[in-house]
Amino acid sequence: MPDYSIHRASDLAGDERQIVERWLGRALSNDETISINAYRPHAAPDSAKRQGLRRDIVAQAREIGSRADDIADQDLEDLLGEAFDAVRGRCG
């Protein structure tokens, strides 16, 4: 059995649509597509793995940033810090 399901809002039965709208906290438009994924829990990566992932992300961001003019390293670090904080807030 798959761990995901994709449906058009217009194809949902009334009770199904109400549940999805309750989860989202808003009404659905008939032209929207709803995707549901189920994930099995797993342990968080250890500190060394997280630091490695962070280094990879910073390297990618620097490479992308090198294409833009006049972006200071500190600005990039600040933006990355904000992004990491936002992700931590969502996942915690």
Q: Is the pLDDT of residue 87 over 60?
A: yes
pLDDT in tens, 11-50: 999 899 999 999 999 999 999 999 999 988 888 889 999 9
- Is the dihedral angle over the CA atoms 50, 56, 60, 66 positive or is it negative? positive
Global model pTM greater than 0.75: no
Residue boundaries of the structural domains of the chain = 4-37, 47-91
Dihedrals φ, ψ of 26, to 5°?
A: -160, 165
- For residue 91, name the pLDDT band (cuts at 50, 70, 90): low
- For residue 67, name the pLDDT band (cuts at 50, 70, 90): confident
Mean pLDDT throughout 58-75?
82
